[in-house]
């Protein structure tokens, strides 16, 4: 027969054990009470529990994955338009030359034929007419007493024109032929000779 003290001690012990059991069951999560014994089923049950609205938030560990940043491709730069170095330079004004006579006569008509035979255009005839107007007035007998220049082209001396013909003193065609040869060799064209005469006063 047990003593009353032993019975009281046993009752208290059983009561504390029961209370602990109730507390452990009460504070255990719902998924723990429903978790199956099979480990694979337990893992599936845990996964479903975390997917529910009441499941705790999952915190990712930055050390477990890598972040790759892909740079956005840059557009190709547009080519720079280089300014024209000659754009700001002033272009020289086009030179205007004397006009050729519309209906040359006499010595000028002979000169027009010889100018065309050399492949020069009417512009060159205009320069030639203006040049020899200044030099001799297209006179086959024009003579410069101070320099000795003679004839339509004012050859210096006049005897140079003998290379074009023995009638150089009186024949305008001979004088013109010699004068055009002299101009071609020294100035290139009658307009080249005219430019020199304009700047220097002689050719």
Q: Give me the chain's average pLDDT, please.
A: 78
SS3 143: strand
pLDDT of residue 117: 98
Q: What is the mean pLDDT of residues 63-72?
A: 70
pLDDT digits (tens, 9 = 90+) for 15-32: 544 544 444 444 444 444
Of 183 and 46, more confident: 183
Whether residue 88 has pLDDT greater than 80: no
Q: What is the mean pLDDT of residues 106-132?
A: 97
pLDDT of residue 186: 97
Q: What is the mean pLDDT of residues 101-109?
A: 94
Show the tokens assigned to 49.
Answer: 């529990």
Confidence of residue 76 (pLDDT cuts 50, 70, 90): confident
Where residue 151 falls (left for φ over 0; alpha for ψ -120 to 50; beta otherwise) is left
pLDDT of residue 25: 42
Residue 83 CB partners (closer than 8 Å, separation 6+): none
> In terms of Cα–Cα distance, which of 186, 175, 194 is closest to 124?
194
Whether residue 51 has pLDDT greater than 60: no
pLDDT of residue 149: 96
SS3 102: coil
The burial of 190, by beta-carbon neighbours within 10 Å (0-12 exposed, 13-18 middle, 19 or more buried), is given as buried
Residue 58 CB partners (closer than 8 Å, separation 6+): 50
- C-alpha 131/C-alpha 153 separation (Å) is 9
Of 117 and 29, more confident: 117
Most confident of 37-41, 68-72, 197-201: 197-201
List the alpha helices (DSSP H) in 58-171: 107-117, 122-135
Q: What is the pTM of this model?
A: 0.56
Q: Can you give the residue ranges of every domain in the chain?
A: 107-200
Whether residue 125 has pLDDT greater than 90: yes
């Amino acid at each position: 027969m047990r003593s009353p003290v032993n019975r009281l001690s046993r009752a208290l012990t059983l009561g504390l054990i029961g209370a602990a059991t109730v507390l452990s069951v009460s504070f255990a999560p719902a998924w723990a009470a429903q978790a199956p014994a099979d480990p694979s089923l337990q893992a599936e049950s845990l996964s479903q529990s975390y997917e529910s609205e009441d499941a705790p938030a999952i915190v990712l560990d930055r050390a477990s994955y890598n972040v790759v940043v892909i740079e956005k491709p840059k557009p190709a730069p547009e080519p720079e338009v280089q300014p024209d170095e000659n754009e700001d330079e002033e272009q020289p004004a086009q030179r205007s030359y004397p006009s050729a006579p519309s209906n040359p006569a006499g010595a000028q008509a002979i000169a027009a034929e010889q100018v065309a035979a050399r492949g020069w255009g009417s512009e060159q005839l205009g320069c030639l007419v203006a040049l020899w107007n200044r030099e001799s007035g297209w006179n086959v007998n024009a003579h410069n007493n101070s320099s000795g220049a003679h004839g339509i082209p004012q050859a210096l001396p006049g005897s140079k024109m003998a290379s074009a013909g023995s009638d150089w003193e009186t024949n305008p065609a001979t004088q013109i032929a010699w004068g055009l040869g002299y101009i071609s060799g020294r100035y290139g064209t009658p307009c080249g000779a005219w430019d020199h005469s304009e700047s220097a006063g002689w050719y």
